[in-house]
Amino acid sequence: MHTHHKPFSILLVLFLSGSLSCKKLVSIPEPINTLTTTEVFTTDAQANSAMAGVYSEMINGTNPNMGSTGNITALPALSSDEMAYNNTGALLLYATNHLLYTSVNVGDTWGPLYSYVYGANAIIQGIGASTSGLLHDSVRKELTGEAKFVRAFSYFYLTNLYGDVPLALTIDFSQTENMARTPQATVYRQIIQDLKDAQTALPSDYSVGAGERIRPNKWAATALLARVYLYTGDNVDAAAQASAVIANTGQYSLVSDLNSVFLKNSTEAIWQLQQNTSQTVFGNATPDGFNYLPNPLNTGFSSNCLSNELLGAFENGDGRRSAWVDSTDDSNGAPAGTPPGSYYFPYKYKTGKYNYVVGGTATEYYMVLRLAEMYLVRAEAAAGGAAGGTTAAIADLDVIRQRAGLSALPPGLLPAQVDSAVAHERQIELFGEWGHRWLDLKRTGQAHAVLSRIPRKQPWAGDYQLLYPIPLQEIQDDHNLTQNPGYN
């Protein structure tokens, strides 16, 4: 993790465009442009611009050779039983679970996530160091809360994708140059603390985003905290946090029309990322819409297609199958070397390569947190011992099933049957979103049994593939950073 730049006390690394730059792990490369701390955090508007730059990087992927957050959806979807890769190239190694430490790029997931961490740390430190009277206390509090939320969000994915990861809470190069791995339990403690701080600091409404759901608020922190508690086995607190969001019916409700769930500022949206329609390759599409929807829509080539395993998991009459899945027959337009035929693709977002417009009006924002997950979190927590037990779990699952047009689950299911029903509803409701299926299979201990039987993943390389390898360049740059076991 070696690089050179001036320490924080002199410079805060920022692109003049407002997006923050990080190419490697926790070490930060020489910035393209630099601004002094006092210049960046002198006024409310400047500080807000710096925070907006972090979100811009997350959705637009503006860093050279860096993916956007779209990779956090796409790559784990291939690693799980959700999607197959109908092409050749590096992504095939994700789809077959045959990753090599030499085959992953810093820009896949590691680099972008640490870039967001760096941006969050830069804002926390920059606000803390600013003595300007034009940077008001309310803005200081708000933006520090947002930055802590982003840091927690980023570390949630880092530790779930890579295991123990360096926990950087500063941009001081002398402290981050050669960091060792931090135990996952310590990383989770920091995530929880950051989210609690964010809950306290952030407003309950969306006033900071001018009414749009594009800046995390108290409820975004609460929703992510519910998920984190679930992942760490704290079912009582997971249920309590999820219940707090669900009870806020004035702001959040499930959208009855499945085709409208992912529209911008949907009542189901807890937090969305807003694309810059004029400065991104996606135009007015989201990363997932742009990457998954064929062009033309029903006759174009689809390299990332839904797996037979996912398609076979839908129950008859499930409205999610008709609203959120579409197909393409590329028999006349398949690239050389790929088998022509009919393939299915995620259709949660309706704007993609076939109809996107650079500079056009966005009808969809990139959904990060939504209400349906909170019902599923609370259901799993109840099945795991939180208030209400299996009866409450079934009731929450039925809310999701009813929205999809399915019948209620039979009462009196055995605990193991309820666990299976929770896993099924998470698989169907959250497919193609933010790596949920990949992380679910791992945290519930089902990954080996499910994945090792899939034909495209044969021969099964080993369960060590359940953690991604740290990119080779990072290992070479940091003599204290060790590779995940199994990759050599």
| Residue 468: CATH number of its domain | 1.25.40.890
Domain check: are 158 and 307 in the same one? no
Answer yes or no: is 170 within a domain. Answer: yes
Domain check: are 198 and 291 in the same one? no
Answer yes or no: is 395 within a domain. Answer: no
Answer yes or no: is 228 within a domain. Answer: no
Residue span of the structural domain in which 1 resides: 1-73+99-202+460-483
Q: How do beta strands 12-13 and 34-35 pair?
A: antiparallel
Number of domains comprising the chain: 2
Q: What is the pLDDT, as a whole number, of residue 63?
A: 56
Residues 6 or more apart in contact with residue 459 via CB below 8 angstroms = none
Q: What is the pLDDT, as a whole number, of residue 90?
A: 86
Q: pTM of the entire structure?
A: 0.93
Q: What is the pLDDT, as a whole number, of residue 24?
A: 39
Q: What is the pLDDT, as a whole number, of residue 21?
A: 35
Of 332, 347, 364, which marks where a domain is finished? Answer: 364
Tokens of 317: 């009459």
Answer yes or no: is 350 within a domain. Answer: yes
Answer yes or no: is 353 within a domain. Answer: yes
Domain check: are 197 and 317 in the same one? no
Domain check: are 344 and 478 in the same one? no
Answer yes or no: is 333 within a domain. Answer: yes
Q: What is the pLDDT, as a whole number, of residue 39?
A: 64
Q: What is the pLDDT, as a whole number, of residue 53?
A: 92
Residues of the chain with pLDDT under 70: 1-39, 62-67
Domain check: are 110 and 10 in the same one? yes
Q: What is the pLDDT, as a whole number, of residue 1?
A: 42
Domain check: are 187 and 305 in the same one? no
Domain check: are 8 and 124 in the same one? yes
